[in-house]
Structure 1
Amino acid sequence: MRVEGRVVTPTGVVDGYVELAGETIVTVGTGAPAADRWIVPGFVDIHTHGGGGHTFTTGDASAAREAAAFHLRHGTTTLLASLVSSPYELMRDATAAFAPLVAEGVLAGIHYEGPYLSQARCGAQNPAFLRDPSVDELSALVELGGGAVRMVTVAPERHGALEAIKLLVSRGVVVAIGHTDATYDQTLAGIEAGATVGTHVFNGMRPPHHREPGPVFALLGAESVVCELIPDGIHLHDGTLAFAAKVTGPDRAALVTDAMAAAGMPDGEYELGGQAVVVADRVARLARDGSIAGSTLTMDAGLRQAVHAGVSMVDAVRMVTTTPARAIGVAGEVGALAPGLRADLVVLDDSLRVSRVMRAGAWLS
């Protein structure tokens, strides 16, 4: 099978084609007639809580399958199921429920966004469930997941955080720094311990100040860290998005949706981590205090927003595919249009809207 168009590769755009054999890309070639459509890799979302009216946060496997299917229709062919701060029992049950979906390939893994987070910077996380990291708790969860636990967000200033980071990294789990009131030095200590991702940088963390730079400058400046950015025009001003992408470069910026169940759904009342959420004009906020509660974003819309903010098409595509894939350790399987990788691709029209989606060599019907 051959798919022709303006092919976006990790190094540029070519008028060409992607040739497939079964589930695998075999050739990316040039010389096909120019077409008014883009061929890009399947999107990789490493931070999402749900979509299409379905959530990952309750640990329901049927809901998780539907949420993944919703995002797949918007071009996301690889995604992590992000939980929110929860009691251990819910984390345990969700891990057991989602592990078979990871083995099946519906999910690329599980992301615990909490509960090891800052009270002061908890945002829409339920403060009742926040606690210090427990090496015993994490060891049990990672063991239960059997490789399904892919990433954990930690506030490095919490008691026991550095020991937890080292444990997780030793077990092959990616550690992200987020929802943190850490100082610049505390953030660097978390990075030194092995953290390699910044959870939705700028949001849910101490704001930067020229005399107290805090976690934002530490994460943006660390060459070993991939910084998540939410490109919905709400979490970040377009100028902030463009600035952060320029500071990190496309190899260190990963666009994420942070989507909740309301993505793709009408305005109204929803739930996140046991808390009431009200969505109005596509903005999700906690009913109790108005804190932003995730997003209603899809990755195709995030790509358009990044390009609108001034990020080049090639860089924006890297930020929604290649870089997040590398951040969670799956770059050898997905994240680019290159021979040997899984045949995941998205056909976009000239306005960057999804026309067709292919996953593992099969078009969505």
Structure 2
Amino acid sequence: MFPRKVSGNILTPQGWLQGSLQFGQRIGAIEADAAAADAAASAAGGKLTILPGFIDLHVHGAAGVDIMQGGDAGVTVARAHARHGTTAMLGTTMTATDNSIRRALNGLAPAIAERPAGAARMLGVHLEGPFLSIHRLGAQPADAVVEGSLDLVRSYHAIAPIRAMTLATEVARHLQLIPQLKQLGIRVQLGHSNGSYDDGVAALQAGAAGFTHLFNGMTALQHRQPGIVGAALAHAEYAEIIPDLQHVHEGAIRAALRAIPRLYGVTDATAATGMPDGEYGLGSQRVYKCMGCVRLATGSLAGSVLTMDQALRNFVALGLDLADASHRLSLYPADYLGETERGRLQTGAWADLVVLDADLQPVAVYVEGEAIALNAA
């Protein structure tokens, strides 16, 4: 009845189970079967672990391609990240001219409507800007920043579904926009913000749901001026963080893990992901990959080359147990978006899963039951 079967140590909502998982496009059965799990491990040369596929809610590019290029760039990016265990994602835009944003959204729309073969499921768009603070731009270009309006967001939303949006709440009328955006089903995230702690708390009270790349692109925590970071640590249920161990010191990651119950990892990956050192595009900016970092010519960090399988290994290296690390890359981002049939291995859920060896390297990835070729060009 179910054309595929994998065996190993399976992370289920009830905990670990040594056995087998049968699936087509959706998971049909999960059964305890220690003998089958041991046989699979022996055939593979070591212990196999089966986790829910990773869900990345902040992705700009990969394989030399940037989502702002439009066309089929999103397909290339979704295929590249699928080979690292990402089974669902949000295509993430940059602050740019109106025409450039519309071009990117028009390019993403077909891949959102119908998943291309060999690719992660594109769940929608993360609109990162252009409604930001000119004082906390990071790699976002200043000349394209504009004040947000509901009509403008609606026009973007009509092209491709916006699932998450980064907003500097202290700018102009942005605070008043938050409840209206929430009614559209958009998760408003605070980021690229020069706001105060009080601005952050007011935004959460208005309906903001999270924080974009926590610690980066926002006012820092000081004991008399807690800033947006302080609002997140004191009040947030959800926030994204880039666990590449370059954007955020491991001590700050540990503090956030203790403070924010559902802190989840994102890559903020750029076109340089999976590519050799060199020059790449990030929206209208030129960025440079060197020594595992992506930077502007000024030296400022500009996204990453992180993949979600490496994010898992980094979380584990920080001391998280494997189940906790997995939740922060699959279950929590799924729950954040209200995706109840992804991010968990249970009967009836989409068959999005990653099979890992003893070193937590992917040996198999399935997106909605389709086997992904890990060594594709």
> TM range, normalised to the smaller chain?
over 0.9
Map residues 189-338 of structure 1 onto 2, 5 A cutoff.
Answer: 189-223=202-236, 225-249=237-261, 252-287=262-297, 289-330=298-339, 332-338=340-346
Report which stretch shifted further, 266-275 or 32-41.
32-41
Q: Which residue, 354, 358, 362 being the options, matches 1:350?
A: 358
**Whole-angstrom distance in 1 between the partners of 2:269 and 2:213:** 12
**Whole-angstrom distance in 2 between the partners of 1:304 and 1:119:** 35
1:215 aligned partner, one-letter code: I
Q: Does 1:72 align with 2:82?
A: yes
Report which stretch shifted further, 133-142 or 82-91.
133-142
Q: Structure 2 regions of 5+ residues with no counterpart?
A: 42-46, 116-120
**Whole-angstrom distance in 1 between the partners of 2:72 and 2:158:** 23
Report which stretch shifted further, 310-319 or 29-38.
29-38
**Whole-angstrom distance in 2 between the partners of 1:339 and 1:218:** 38
Alpha-carbon contact 2:66-2:283 (below 8 Å) kept: no
Equivalent residue for 2:199?
186
Equivalent residue for 1:38?
49
2:241 aligned partner, one-letter code: L
Alpha-carbon contact 1:123-1:179 (below 8 Å) kept: yes
Deviations 1:90-125 (A, max 9, x none): 222222221121111341101110011111111111
Q: Does 1:119 align with 2:122?
A: no
Deviations 1:28-85 (A, max 9, x none): 2323234401100111000010111111122x23221111100001110100000010
1:318 shift after superposition: 0.2
Map residues 69-108 of structure 1 onto 2, 5 A cutoff.
Answer: 69-105=79-115, 106-108=121-123
Equivalent residue for 2:61?
50
Q: Normalising to structure 2: TM-score of the pair?
A: 0.91
**Whole-angstrom distance in 1 between the partners of 2:248 and 2:145:** 25
Q: Secondary structure at the match of 2:136?
A: coil
1:24 aligned partner, one-letter code: R
2:248 aligned partner, one-letter code: L
Equivalent residue for 1:162?
175
1:176 shift after superposition: 0.8
User: Residues 349 and 168 (structure 1 numbering): CA distance in 2 closer, same or farther, change over 3 Å?
Assistant: same
Alpha-carbon contact 1:50-1:261 (below 8 Å) kept: yes
Q: Secondary structure at the match of 1:320?
A: coil
Alpha-carbon contact 1:239-1:309 (below 8 Å) kept: no
Deviations 1:166-190 (A, max 9, x none): 2211111111111111111101111
Q: Secondary structure at the match of 1:4?
A: strand
2:190 aligned partner, one-letter code: I
1:203 shift after superposition: 0.7
**Whole-angstrom distance in 1 between the partners of 2:212 and 2:78:** 20
Q: Normalising to structure 1: TM-score of the pair?
A: 0.94
**Whole-angstrom distance in 2 between the partners of 1:142 and 1:202:** 28
Instruction: Please provide the CA RMSD for this pair.
Output: 1.4
**Whole-angstrom distance in 1 between the partners of 2:66 and 2:220:** 29
**Whole-angstrom distance in 2 between the partners of 1:155 and 1:222:** 17
1:285 shift after superposition: 0.5
Q: Which residue, 174, 178, 183 being the options, matches 2:187?
A: 174
Q: Secondary structure at the match of 1:231?
A: coil
Identity rate, percent: 39
1:152 shift after superposition: 0.8
**Whole-angstrom distance in 1 between the partners of 2:108 and 2:148:** 22
Q: Does 1:6 align with 2:18?
A: no
1:80 aligned partner, one-letter code: L
**Whole-angstrom distance in 2 between the partners of 1:32 and 1:247:** 37
Equivalent residue for 1:26?
28
1:314 aligned partner, one-letter code: A
1:23 aligned partner, one-letter code: Q
Alpha-carbon contact 1:156-1:186 (below 8 Å) kept: yes
Q: Does 1:140 align with 2:150?
A: no
1:11 shift after superposition: 4.2
